[in-house]
Amino acid sequence: MDARHIELLGKSDTELLEISRMFMLALNLEEMQKVQDYFKRHGRNPTDIELETFAQTWSEHCVHKTFRGNIEYNGQKINNLLKSYIIKATNDLRMPWCVHVFEDNAGIVEFNDKHNIAVKVETHNHPSALDPYGGAGTGSGGVFRDVMGVGAKPIMSTDILFFAPPDYPHDKLPKGVLHPKRLMKGVVAGIRDYGNRMGIPTANGGFGFHEGYVGNPLVYAGCLGIMPKEKYVRDAKPGDKIVLAGGRTGRDGIHGVTFASLELSTDSKKTSSGAVQIGNAIEEKRVLDGQLKARDVRDVPLYSAITDCGGGGLSSAIGEMGKKTGARVWLDKVPLKYDGLEPWEIWISEAQERMLLAVPEENVAEVLEIFREENTEANVIGEFTSDKKLTLMFNDKTIGELDMGFLHDGFPKAEKKAVLKISEKKDPDLQDQKDFGMDVKALLSSPTIASKEWVIRQYDHEVQAKTVIKPIQGLGGPGDACVLRPIYDEWKGVVVSNGYNPRFSGNPYNMALSAIDEAMRNNVCCGGRRIALLDNFSWGNPEKPDRLGALVEAVKACHDGSLAFCAPFISGKDSLYNEYSLGGAKDTISIPYTLVITAVGIIPDVRKAVTMDLKMAGNPVYMVGETKDEMDGSHYYMIKHVDGGTVPGVDLAKAKESMDSLVEAMDAGLVRACHDCSEGGLAVAAAEMCFAGGLGMRIDLDNVQQKCIVKNHKLLFSESNSRFLVEVAKGKEDEFENLMGSHVSRIGEVTQRNNLLVAGLNGRAIIDEDIDDLRKAWRKTFDW
């Protein structure tokens, strides 16, 4: 085994591109020229492993070229989208409880005086499209390792999934694409097996369905962990040994991204162990137990830094960890699954279940012994140096030597153009109806809204015994957020929720604000406050100016929403280039712009957390917030097969004030149940609260606080933001109204009767439905 030299000096531009293509480097001309310059300065040609190192370190996955590059947008120059907007909001807010944000594998915020929580959300879209089971499982495994990579113990997982509708016609399915129902079953099984086997509760999540995901399903895996404050270390020192713990290395995941972009042929008979992997949760559990022992066996961890091997494998993990010092790696010391791997393959393999530790020489024997006790392997594969160089060795021979500085900062900034395209759409102005009962049931049965009990019952959401507020509430209703109690002898809790509105893609700024508002809303529903946010973008091709323009708008909304809600972003991720072509068309279509916002709040006493099921007949029902004529992207228009109107916006000042007051009301014990009005609007929220509580509700639309609406269907089904339905304890009306001020309207009460009764603007009953029928409609879609 030896490294090959590749002729780069003196090559023309065309030849450079050809080299990039031949070795699947995915580097563009400018980047190849930079690399060529570097080696010209050093007066030699690169080895294969050196070229691969550049390809990995400069990949979109590792450096986020789009988010960190230059963008020209409507005559405005934006230098680094991430720093100019999202990180800027966090910096401006200066929240003292933000401990380490945007700098490590996961965002870290304070939990109490002794502990911090670490949170990360990732996407694993391409692998899941090819093999849903393995792709989703390794997605979970990867995000758990992100949290382990800051030294925290994973205590819950949240997964948000997007597919085409499960009844998508088989004959319309593009070639080489798996049917959404099969994808969904595989993805759910992958998440289930990884989380359940590792003993991490999957206690929260969400689904979105849209035809636009047919070629590109989206799988977001998130994880929350907890750690003692003083156990965070991230400082590899010269002389520290590089210890690789966990699974063995094989050809897994090599050039996975390139593979994913090829069209899949059905008669492909080759072994594709390269791009597609299946996770081994038991192995990761052993590594976790080993690393926690190494962390806790003394006052300070036995290691001086820790990280996971994810995208880019060893090359990214060691490159990143040794950025400030330098590192020497003995690739022949890496334990392999099978013989025959080239050194460069070992270096970039994305084999799962591996963690990397920097261990001071005097602790090495003890660390290796700890992992051995946990029945997993750990080996010294290199050391950190002080020469600021990355040196790669194989059998005592140097096969690569690069300057860390150039490797990490030498890449050329991407220059991209962006424009915004928003088309005005006329509202379809539907006729009024006498009865909306059928519509409510149709909405409850639509895939995004329908009960996910089939999924939830497969996930273990109780393991570790920390889950207080669970996904299914009351007699069976969809919870808004998950509440965990991470420390067994304290009542303080963590509240985790998500928000996403890909149907509002028509106005990307409002789409993003809506996602933030929804994530905040869901958190507040259970009593969450002091909220930190995570952003996760899945987008179309950013080389196309309209896609990039939409991205810029969404990022601006993140900045504005974050500042207004005083909710800093602490971590984020992006997956771009999610496009597909239908029926052999030349132009590709972007997925709906999908921004998932994850909100992590705290609650001082989990016993005061609120659920969404109605509690007692006779209690008044209030609505927080104002209903507006904002029907574009609504689920109601979707089931009516019409289109148009305005995408919901957010009145940020009002939203912040009303949410703060609502949390205060919860703390004062005034609120018995709370549910947010989102998909399906007021009518769906009311129906869900009824059948979850086994009680009826009477609502009068005349009393709903609203702006210029004269049609019943808009009051019932508009998805205006910042709205909640709240059941208030009888006798506490005055107190509640005083607290909430102009933000609430009293719209009805909880009844003993088994029905949802809504009086329309004309005073006549427009909905009178038995709650058992409503529950049936909600449950039938995923009765798999």
Backbone angles phi, psi at 557, to 5 degrees: -65, -40
Our CB check for another protein shows the closer of 543 and 783 to be 783
Q: Minimum Å distance from CB 311 to another protein? A: 18
Q: Minimum Å distance from CB 272 to another protein? A: 5
Q: Minimum Å distance from CB 478 to another protein? A: 24
HSE on the CB side for 3, CA within 13 Å? 29
As a whole number of angstroms, the distance between CA 736 and CA 671 comes to: 8
Q: Minimum Å distance from CB 379 to another protein? A: 19
- Residue ranges that bind another protein, judged by CB under 8 A: 130-131, 133-134, 170, 178-179, 181-182, 185-186, 250-252, 264, 266, 268, 271-273, 276-283, 352, 784
Q: Is 100 helix (H, G, I), strand (E, B) or coil?
A: strand
- Inter-residue contact 452 to 476 (CB < 8 Å): no
Cross-strand bridge partners of residue 379: 244
Angle at the Cα of 372 (from 371 to 374), degrees rounded to 5?
65
- Inter-residue contact 129 to 139 (CB < 8 Å): no
Q: Is 677 helix (H, G, I), strand (E, B) or coil?
A: coil
Q: Minimum Å distance from CB 95 to another protein? A: 41
Q: Is 590 helix (H, G, I), strand (E, B) or coil?
A: strand
As a whole number of angstroms, the distance between CA 223 and CA 200 comes to: 9
Our CB check for another protein shows the closer of 58 and 459 to be 459
Which tokens sit at 738? 């005083």
As a whole number of angstroms, the distance between CA 546 and CA 154 comes to: 39
Which tokens sit at 113? 């005086």
Our CB check for another protein shows the closer of 185 and 640 to be 185
Our CB check for another protein shows the closer of 279 and 620 to be 279
3-state helix, strand, coil in the chain (%, to 5): 35, 25, 40
As a whole number of angstroms, the distance between CA 12 and CA 29 comes to: 10
Our CB check for another protein shows the closer of 7 and 783 to be 783
Q: Residue 668's closest CA among 527, 554, 777, 557?
A: 527
Q: Minimum Å distance from CB 529 to another protein? A: 41
- Inter-residue contact 500 to 235 (CB < 8 Å): no
The residue from 124, 255, 461, 743 that is catalytic is 124
Pairing of strands 218-228, 327-330: unpaired
Q: Minimum Å distance from CB 316 to another protein? A: 21
Taking the CA atoms of residue 523, residue 524, residue 525 and residue 527 in that order, the dihedral angle to the nearest 10 degrees is 100
Residues in CB range of 72: below 8 A, 6 or more apart: 78, 415, 416, 417, 418
Instruction: Please name the residue that has the structure tokens 């933001």.
Output: 721
Which tokens sit at 549? 């323009």
Instruction: Please name the residue that has the structure tokens 């030849």.
Output: 15
Q: Minimum Å distance from CB 141 to another protein? A: 11
Q: Minimum Å distance from CB 515 to another protein? A: 32
Q: Minimum Å distance from CB 124 to another protein? A: 16
Q: Is 742 exposed, middle or buried (0-12, 13-18, 19+ CB in 10 A)?
A: exposed
Our CB check for another protein shows the closer of 264 and 419 to be 264
Backbone angles phi, psi at 222, to 5 degrees: -125, 155
As a whole number of angstroms, the distance between CA 677 and CA 692 comes to: 15
State the first-to-last Cα distance of the chain, in angstroms, to the nearest integer: 52
Our CB check for another protein shows the closer of 276 and 683 to be 276
Which tokens sit at 139? 């997605």
The residue from 61, 100, 255, 713 that is catalytic is 61
Our CB check for another protein shows the closer of 278 and 729 to be 278
Q: Is 675 a catalytic residue?
A: no
- Inter-residue contact 659 to 740 (CB < 8 Å): no
Q: Minimum Å distance from CB 209 to another protein? A: 16
Our CB check for another protein shows the closer of 185 and 323 to be 185
Our CB check for another protein shows the closer of 244 and 276 to be 276
Q: Is 124 a catalytic residue?
A: yes
Taking the CA atoms of residue 122, residue 126, residue 131 and residue 137 in that order, the dihedral angle to the nearest 10 degrees is -10
Our CB check for another protein shows the closer of 21 and 182 to be 182
Which tokens sit at 632? 């574009």
Active site members: 61, 124
